[in-house]
Amino acid sequence: MQLALAVLFGGSAILLIVSIFMTKKASIKENKQIDLIHVSVMKDVNEIRESIRNLELDLEVVSKEAGLQLSADERSLKREILDLYKRNYSIKSIADMKQMPEGEIEYLLAPYLSEREERRQAVNEN
């Protein structure tokens, strides 16, 4: 009886040691996978940052070449208005959101409105 208990206790101790070893091995493998994913994500983030930096520089070059001197607030307002317009908001609803007169919204969107109308005419002609 005592021999059976000693064998069972010894077997359980061996199984415990094997279990700890296997768990540690699996943990190391998971950590390596997490590290690889982290490196991949950081690489993608750095590429996106580089693309954004290049776009900002391109924007600065184009605005200098065109002679446009807009403040950050003016550029932000135009960007927001154009974004709303391209998402098919009406000029009236954009004016209500921005608390501006409709005429001013039309004036700010004028370069983009004419381009859109020209495209429609070209499509209709074909």
pLDDT at 50: 95
pLDDT at 92: 92
- Rounded Cα distance between 83 and 67, Å, is 23
Tokens 């004036």 sit at which residue?
A: 107
pLDDT at 115: 55
* CA distances to 27, 35, 36, 40, 82 from 32, in Å: 9, 5, 6, 12, 46
Neighbouring C-beta atoms of residue 67, cutoff 10 Å: 6
* 8 A C-beta contact, residue 109 and residue 81: yes
Nearest Cα to 77, choosing from 95, 52, 55?
95
Q: Where are the domains of the chain?
A: 71-126
Instruction: Render pLDDT for 6-52 as a digit per residue (tens, 0 to 9).
Output: 999 899 999 999 999 999 999 999 999 999 999 999 999 999 999 99
In eight-state DSSP terms, residue 74 is: H
